[in-house]
């Protein structure tokens, strides 16, 4: 199967190349000229709209490269060599490694885009020629334009989203992946200093377990990240399910009221509620204050200062955040469980607990499996809860790189970017987060009951 697709792809590539060849061989002069001047063929054949668009792409590319892109692209192998220096007391900035890398990457994308446009251009010529040869007429410009609202409507719909994602997601991610292979940190900061390629040094650093390497810190932060994501997902899930069942119990009144109270936590912006809760658990916060006042404890409980306690407190606060979502979701699904399943179980004399284990739970797990998975990966990157509550603290002598005991990989990444300007290691950690997420996704997704057996409960 896998080999089949590979083969297919290879064939597609070959036939694509062959088509470029035959188009040139069998094409008329208009087509052949189009190989160099994009869209010339369509323009001459009256397809102004398509032709001009193609030509515009080429012109823009040339202008971009000549005036801007090439200057950066040509330096991408060294990331700049001219140092910043002084003339008198004036500062003359040298090469900016950051911009060289950023626009170098953009230029590479531009070249790839040009090749793709060129290929489309060739195909368009071929299509038109074949149509004319068969004696058919080409669609009018108006028809071509109108097709953007009908059979080509997806191009209109997706043009802006795809461009936006390209510029603000794809380009930055490509850039940051490359940063992981440079020495871009506080000692090599643009624009005053240059940075350059260092190969795999940063990856070696994060995977080395000596006294200098970050290996052991990375493993510890990763372990807590996984434990956190697991507990935050499943504890909240079951408690949320429990609360939902309580509220939906027959004979319980004011269902809407209970739900509304819980839902408040979703409505109030988290930076307000979490910062308040952070202070609530502080040594001189309300909770410690009251406990001391009532004589329950002698000295304050270090909710945020003790590593273990801090982790537990975060998990508890996260329950406060998480239950309402889970309650909402599970309520909807609980109502969908066919009542007759319970009826027949009751006739068989099943207890409440047995019904929960045999009917409710399997049904819920089946339906919400994929959701739990996304929830899990979301928790792997749950920045707000951790950062607003502890900023990853408390720190510890045994953790390197400014990491704290409650840091997730993402909060660690954030602190490295903002506090340490250690961009190279931040990039490496970012790639690690990606790998972890991808591995979890891939290994779990195919084992989900609802994916494996789509008919199961229907």
Partner 1 sequence: MKKRLVSVLMAATVLATLFTGCGGKKSDFGSGEVKVWVADNVVDFTNNQINEFKKAHPEFDGYTFNVEATGEGDAAGNMITDVKAGADIYVFAQDQIARLVSAGALEEVEPENAKKVKAENDAGAVAAATVGEKLYAYPITSDNGYFLYYDKSVVKDPSTLEGIIADCEAAGKNFYFEANSGWYQTAFFFGAGAQLSYETDDAGNFTKCNASYASPEGVVALKEIIEVTSSKAFKNGSAISNATDVGAIVDGTWDAEAVKEVFGDNYACSKLPSFEGADGKTYQMSGFGGFKLLGVKPQEDENKLAVCDALAEFLSSEEVQLARYEAVNWGPSNLKAQQSDVVKADVALSALADQLQYTIPQGQYPGEYWDLAKSLGDSVIAGEISAASSDDDLNKALSDFQTTCESYAK
Partner 2 sequence: MKKKRAIENAVTYAVLIIISIIWLFPFVGLVLQSFRSYATEYGGMVNYLVPKSFSLDNYKFLFSGETNYVRWYANTLIIAFFVALFQTIIILCVSYALSRMRFTGRTFLMKFWLILGMFPGFLTMICLYFLLKQFGLTQEGAVPGLILVSIASSGMQYYVCKGFFDTIPKALDEAARIDGASRARIFVSMILPIIKPIIIYTALVAFMAPWCDYVFASYVAFGHDPSYNVAVAMTRWVWTNDYQGYFTRFCAGGVLISVPVTLLFMFLQKYYVEGVTGGAVKG
Within residues 398-417, the interface with partner 1 by CB under 8 A covers 399, 402, 404
Nearer to partner 2, 193 or 381 (CB): 381
191 in Cβ contact with 429 (< 8 Å):
no
Binder of residue 263, out of partner 1, partner 2, none (CB less than 5 to 8 A by kind): partner 2
Residue range at the interface with partner 1 (CB under 8 A); choices 110-118, 223-231, 337-345, 441-449: 110-118
278 sits near partner 2 (criterion: CB under 8 A)? yes
- Closest separation in Å from C-beta 457 to partner 1: 41
Contacts (CB under 8 A) with partner 2, residues 98-127: 98-99, 102
Contacts (CB under 8 A) with partner 2, residues 231-250: 243, 246-247, 249
172 sits near partner 2 (criterion: CB under 8 A)? yes
Number of residues counted as binding partner 2 (CB under 8 A): 99
**Ordered alpha helix ranges (H), 27-96:** 29-34, 40-44, 48-64, 70-73
Q: Which residues pair with 404 in a beta bridge?
A: 395
100 in Cβ contact with 58 (< 8 Å):
no
* Phi and psi angles of residue 92, each rounded to the nearest 5 degrees, phi first: -115, 115
397 sits near partner 1 (criterion: CB under 8 A)? yes
265 sits near partner 1 (criterion: CB under 8 A)? no
Binder of residue 269, out of partner 2, partner 1, none (CB less than 5 to 8 A by kind): partner 2
Question: In angstroms, rounded to a whole number, what is the distance separating the alpha carbons of residues 409 and 415?
Answer: 10
333-354 burial, b for 16+ CB within 10 Å, e for fewer? bbeeeeeeeeeeeeeeebeeee
The residue count of the chain comes to 458
Binder of residue 133, out of partner 1, partner 2, none (CB less than 5 to 8 A by kind): none
Question: Would you state the structure tokens that stand for residue 93, as one six-digit string?
Answer: 């900035």
276 sits near partner 1 (criterion: CB under 8 A)? no
Per the listing, tokens 């969908």 go with: 336
Q: How far does Cα 391 stand from its chain's mean position?
A: 22
Query: Who contacts 225 (Cβ-Cβ below 8 Å, separation ≥6)?
Result: 380, 408, 409, 436
248 sits near partner 1 (criterion: CB under 8 A)? no
The count of other CB atoms within 10 Å of the CB of residue 112 is 10
From residue 91, alpha-carbon distances to 147, 185, 192, 193, 260 in Å are 56, 22, 10, 13, 61
94 sits near partner 1 (criterion: CB under 8 A)? no
Residue range at the interface with partner 2 (CB under 8 A); choices 1-9, 123-131, 221-229, 435-443: 435-443
Q: Which helix (H) or strand (E) holds 298?
A: none
**What residue ranges bind partner 1 (CB under 8 A)?**
53-54, 56-57, 60-61, 63-64, 67-69, 84, 88-93, 103, 106, 109-110, 113, 116-117, 120, 155-156, 158-160, 162-163, 166-167, 186-187, 189, 191-193, 211-212, 279, 282-284, 289, 298-300, 302, 305-307, 393-397, 399, 402, 404, 418-421
């Amino acid at each position: 199967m896998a080999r089949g697709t590979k083969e297919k792809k290879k064939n597609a590539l070959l036939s694509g190349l062959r088509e470029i060849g035959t188009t040139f061989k069998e094409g008329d002069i208009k087509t052949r000229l189009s190989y160099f001047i994009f869209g010339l063929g369509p323009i001459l054949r009256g397809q102004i709209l398509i032709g001009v668009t193609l030509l515009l792409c080429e012109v823009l590319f040339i202008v971009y490269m000549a005036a801007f892109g090439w200057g950066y692209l040509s330096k991408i192998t060294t990331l700049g060599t001219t140092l910043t220096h002084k003339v008198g007391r004036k500062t003359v900035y040298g090469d900016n490694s950051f911009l060289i890398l950023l626009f170098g990457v953009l230029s590479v994308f531009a070249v790839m885009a040009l090749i793709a446009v060129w290929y489309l251009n060739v195909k368009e010529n071929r299509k038109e020629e074949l149509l004319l040869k068969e004696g058919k007429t080409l669609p009018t410009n108006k028809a071509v334009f109108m097709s953007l609202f009908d059979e080509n409507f997806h191009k209109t719909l997706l043009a802006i989203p795809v461009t936006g994602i390209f510029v603000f997601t794809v380009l930055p991610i490509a850039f940051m992946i490359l940063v992981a292979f440079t020495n871009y940190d506080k000692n090599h900061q643009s624009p005053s200093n240059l940075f350059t390629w260092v190969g795999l040094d940063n990856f070696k650093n994060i995977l080395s377990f000596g006294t200098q390497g970050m290996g052991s810190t990375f493993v510890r932060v990763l372990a807590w990240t996984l434990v956190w994501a697991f507990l935050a997902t499943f504890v909240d899930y079951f408690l949320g399910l429990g609360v939902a069942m309580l509220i939906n119990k027959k004979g319980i009144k004011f269902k809407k009221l209970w739900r509304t109270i819980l839902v408040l936590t979703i409505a109030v912006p988290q930076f307000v509620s979490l910062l308040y809760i952070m202070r609530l658990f502080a040594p001189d916060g309300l909770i410690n204050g009251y406990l001391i006042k009532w004589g329950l404890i002698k000295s304050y409980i270090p909710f945020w200062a003790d590593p273990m306690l801090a982790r537990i407190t975060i998990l508890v606060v996260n329950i406060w955040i998480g239950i309402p979502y889970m309650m909402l979701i599970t309520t909807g699904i609980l109502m969908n469980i066919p009542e007759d399943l319970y009826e027949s179980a009751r006739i068989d004399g099943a207890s409440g607990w047995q019904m929960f284990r045999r009917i409710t739970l399997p049904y819920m797990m089946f339906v919400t499996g994929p959701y739990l998975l996304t929830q899990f990966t979301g928790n792997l990157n749950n920045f707000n809860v951790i950062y607003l509550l502890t900023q990853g603290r408390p720190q510890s002598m045994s953790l390197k790189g400014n990491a704290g005991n409650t840091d997730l990989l993402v909060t660690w990444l954030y602190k490295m970017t903002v506090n340490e300007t250690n961009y190279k290691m931040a990039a490496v950690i970012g790639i690690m987060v990606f790998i972890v997420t991808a591995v979890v996704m891939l290994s779990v997704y195919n084992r989900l009951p609802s994916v494996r057996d789509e008919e199961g409960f229907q």
